[in-house]
Chains A and B, each alone.
Chain A
Amino acid sequence: MTPAASPMAQLPSPSGLRPTTEPPLVRRLLIGIALLFLTLFLFLPLASVFVQAFAKGIGFYLKTLSDPMAWSAVKLTLITAGISVPLNCVFGVAAAWAIAKFDFRGKNILLTLIDLPFSISPVISGLIYVLVFGAQGWLGLYENADKPWFPWLANWLNDHDIHIIFAPAGIVLATIFVTFPFVARELIPLMQAQGRTEEEAARVLGASGWQTFWRVTLPNIKWGLLYGVILCNARAMGEFGAVSVVSGHIRGQTNTIPLYVEVLYDEYNFTGAFAMASVLAFLALVTLAIKIWVERKNTALNTATNNHQ
């Protein structure tokens, strides 16, 4: 695919340049403009997170991170990701199995519906859970109804003072919603491309359904699955808008790391905000690094299978 591989490229053109490339000056100019754009919008922002985080020295940085408030934010973020990522992972595998291995009507509609959370504003993602579980929402109506269905459930909810909105449960739900498509979206095209012949062969040779899944399908999709989980996790830990709507900002109780960043920033504790933000920025860099690693594995795997055939 390189220009040098074709005979035309080896012919000298009148100007001494290959006909399918630009003069060196233009090339350098284009590289320069592209890098300037990326510097303004990408490199400087990334660098400034870490510079601002250490603006008051390493002592202040460590003090910010070891604050009990910071710890409770880290804990809630880990719990949120720990619940939402496995749930969406199981869903992603199930959805990919149904969609990639079988033919049924309405598949395209199902695919569009799975992608839906991506095209919804994070603020609306939070809002819908407020409307379901808020005091003025469905749950509130149910608890306060004169003659509710299942009176024991309404009584139990009222007795135990169950809160979902402005509580960790709401944060977990909103996070599940915004990270809903990640794993499914990675796995569906991958499993569709792989087809079903290998699984069918395993079945014909006498493997059970689970054996087929664990021994044939899972090894084939493990890198795609890992990639989906990594992306899902990054978003789960970093989600701000949706979580902000349902959290109610109760300090030490309903702050995730991104929400705590906002609290510190609004208190004009900029260095503290950037210290917390640097943790998330570091997580983003690790995510990118794993992404590249997985992509390399995939390319290596593809070339290996292509050579094999």
Chain B
Amino acid sequence: MAAAKNRVLPGFRLTLGYTILYLSLIVLIPLAAVFWKTCTLSWAQFCRDITSPQALAAYRLSIGAALLAAALNAVFGLLVAWVLVRYRFFGKKLVDALVDLPFALPTAVAGITLATLYSPSGWIGQFFAPLGIKIAYTRLGVLVALTFIGLPFIVRTVQPILEDLDPEIEEAAASLGANRWQVFWRIILPTLTPALLTGFALAFARALGEYGSVVFISSNIPMKTQIVPLLIMTKLEEFDYAGATALAVVMLVFSFVLLLAINVLQWWTNRYNHTSLS
């Protein structure tokens, strides 16, 4: 890294040096251990570990449930953001504040709470049990937990864009004869799309790696209700470190690709935001 030109301020070497040292010690070197451990596996062994039927079922459930949860949040998160920005109702400030709760509430607390609420005798589960719908300890339970933890992402990415939306554009559309639904569908939604996609990707990425809130509400049955982090945990408890590491590498590569996609989306959102403001 090239040194800064004509610096007036001191401390560049000290702070950058410390940043890189601390980053290496805490993040980069330990992360390298994952790839080192994978290298101790033979290629055939690695392939067998990451394509076992149990692993494939776990990928399917993890990705499927995370996508569904992010989609649910995209619809209801947009609705919540809309209601919070556009309407006035009793307790709005409190609702707005509580939207961040899934960020602040420890995942283990969310896990035991959701498992209790959505179990057949729980506050919410009791209404579904007579209909023959079991939520806790099934795949639906996994979906509930992932929806809970992804909730703030969409609301918090869409909300600021919605607040900055210029009402004159909507008025222009209305004066040209568009009805409210057309205005929403053709004017508002396209403007919100980058933010919605960013929120969707963030919620999806978070849901993919989630462990704490799912472990209580999922019965953790292999091939059925076992998500990838639970499978890794199971392998660790069996002292199969190599197998756990192989799966971790798959997840890490997937997360890095997703991180890249999110960065591109965020750049797109910001660009959109700036052009609409100017």
Sample 11 A-B pairs with CB under 8 A, ordered by A number.
Answer: A1-B166, A22-B180, A42-B98, A94-B15, A113-B27, A115-B259, A173-B26, A244-B233, A265-B112, A284-B105, A288-B98
> CB distance A6 to B171 under 8 Å?
yes
- In the complex, which of the residues A38, A128, A136 contacts B95, with contact meaning CB atoms closer than 8 Å? A38
Residues of chain B within 8 A of A292, CB atoms compared: 97
> CB distance B252 to A209 under 8 Å?
no
> Which residues 218-274 of B sit at the A interface, judged by CB distance below 8 A?
228-229, 232-233, 236, 241, 244-245, 248, 251-252, 255-256, 258-259, 263
> CB distance A43 to B98 under 8 Å?
yes
Shortest distance in angstroms between A142's beta carbon and chain B's nearest beta carbon?
Answer: 13
> CB distance B232 to A48 under 8 Å?
no
A155 contacts the other chain (Cβ, under 8 Å)? no
Report which A residues bind B (CB closer than 8 A). Answer: 1-3, 6, 8-9, 13, 19-22, 27, 30-31, 33-35, 37-38, 40-46, 48-49, 52, 91, 94-95, 97-99, 101-106, 110, 112-117, 119-124, 127-132, 134, 136-138, 173, 176-177, 180, 196, 199-200, 203-204, 209, 212-213, 231, 234, 237-241, 244-245, 258-259, 261-262, 265, 270, 273-274, 277, 280-281, 284-285, 287-289, 291-292
B2 contacts the other chain (Cβ, under 8 Å)? yes
> CB distance A127 to B244 under 8 Å?
yes
Residues of chain B within 8 A of A114, CB atoms compared: 23
> CB distance A258 to B108 under 8 Å?
yes
> CB distance A120 to B168 under 8 Å?
no
Residues of chain A within 8 A of B171, CB atoms compared: 3, 6, 8-9, 19-20
Give A284 to B113 CA distance when docked, in angstroms.
14
Shortest distance in angstroms between A288's beta carbon and chain B's nearest beta carbon?
Answer: 5
- In the complex, which of the residues B89, B105, B232 contacts A280, with contact meaning CB atoms closer than 8 Å? B105
> Which residues 1-55 of B sit at the A interface, judged by CB distance below 8 A?
1-5, 7-12, 14-16, 18-20, 22-23, 26-31, 33-34, 36-37
The chain A residue sitting closest to B213, CB to CB, is A240
Contact A284 to B101, CB < 8 A, known contacts A44-B117, A128-B30, A138-B33: yes
Contact A277 to B108, CB < 8 A, known contacts A42-B98, A46-B98: yes
> CB distance B29 to A132 under 8 Å?
yes
> CB distance A280 to B109 under 8 Å?
yes
Which residue, of A102, A117, A245, A274, has the highest number of chain B Cβ atoms within 10 A? A102
> CB distance B209 to A124 under 8 Å?
yes
Q: A104-B2, A203-B8 are in contact. List 12 more A-B contacts (CB 8 A).
A: A37-B79, A41-B148, A119-B209, A121-B248, A122-B211, A127-B248, A134-B241, A199-B8, A200-B8, A238-B106, A245-B236, A277-B109
Contact A204 to B98, CB < 8 A, known contacts A21-B86, A105-B2: no
> CB distance B209 to A123 under 8 Å?
yes
Contact with A along B87-121 (1 / 0, CB 8 A): 10100000101111111111111111110110000
Contact A37 to B255, CB < 8 A, known contacts A46-B101, A199-B9: no
Give A38 to B151 CA distance when docked, in angstroms.
9
B136 contacts the other chain (Cβ, under 8 Å)? no
Shortest distance in angstroms between B232's beta carbon and chain A's nearest beta carbon?
Answer: 5
Give A114 to B82 CA distance when docked, in angstroms.
33
Contact A124 to B114, CB < 8 A, known contacts A103-B4, A203-B9, A209-B9: no
Residues of chain A within 8 A of B114, CB atoms compared: 45
Shortest distance in angstroms between A240's beta carbon and chain B's nearest beta carbon?
Answer: 4
- In the complex, which of the residues A44, A124, A196 contacts B9, with contact meaning CB atoms closer than 8 Å? A196
Residues of chain B within 8 A of A285, CB atoms compared: 104
Give A255 to B163 CA distance when docked, in angstroms.
44
Residues of chain B within 8 A of A42, CB atoms compared: 98-99, 101-102, 148, 151
- In the complex, which of the residues B18, B104, B180 contacts A287, with contact meaning CB atoms closer than 8 Å? B104
Give A43 to B151 CA distance when docked, in angstroms.
13
> CB distance A245 to B233 under 8 Å?
yes
> CB distance B108 to A37 under 8 Å?
no
- In the complex, which of the residues A6, A27, A40, A213 contacts B168, with contact meaning CB atoms closer than 8 Å? A6
> CB distance B112 to A19 under 8 Å?
no
Residues of chain A within 8 A of B109, CB atoms compared: 49, 238, 258, 261, 277, 280-281, 284
The chain B residue sitting closest to A35, CB to CB, is B95
Residues of chain A within 8 A of B180, CB atoms compared: 22
Which residue, of B28, B86, B101, B170, has the highest number of chain A Cβ atoms within 10 A? B101
> CB distance B80 to A34 under 8 Å?
yes
Residues of chain B within 8 A of A37, CB atoms compared: 76, 79-80
Shortest distance in angstroms between A37's beta carbon and chain B's nearest beta carbon?
Answer: 5
> CB distance A120 to B209 under 8 Å?
yes
Give A9 to B112 CA distance when docked, in angstroms.
49
Residues of chain B within 8 A of A94, CB atoms compared: 14-15, 18-19, 22
Residues of chain B within 8 A of A245, CB atoms compared: 233, 236
Contact A104 to B100, CB < 8 A, known contacts A30-B87, A124-B248: no
Residues of chain A within 8 A of B185, CB atoms compared: none
- In the complex, which of the residues A21, A104, A116 contacts B27, with contact meaning CB atoms closer than 8 Å? A116
Contact A119 to B205, CB < 8 A, known contacts A128-B30, A131-B33, A287-B104: yes
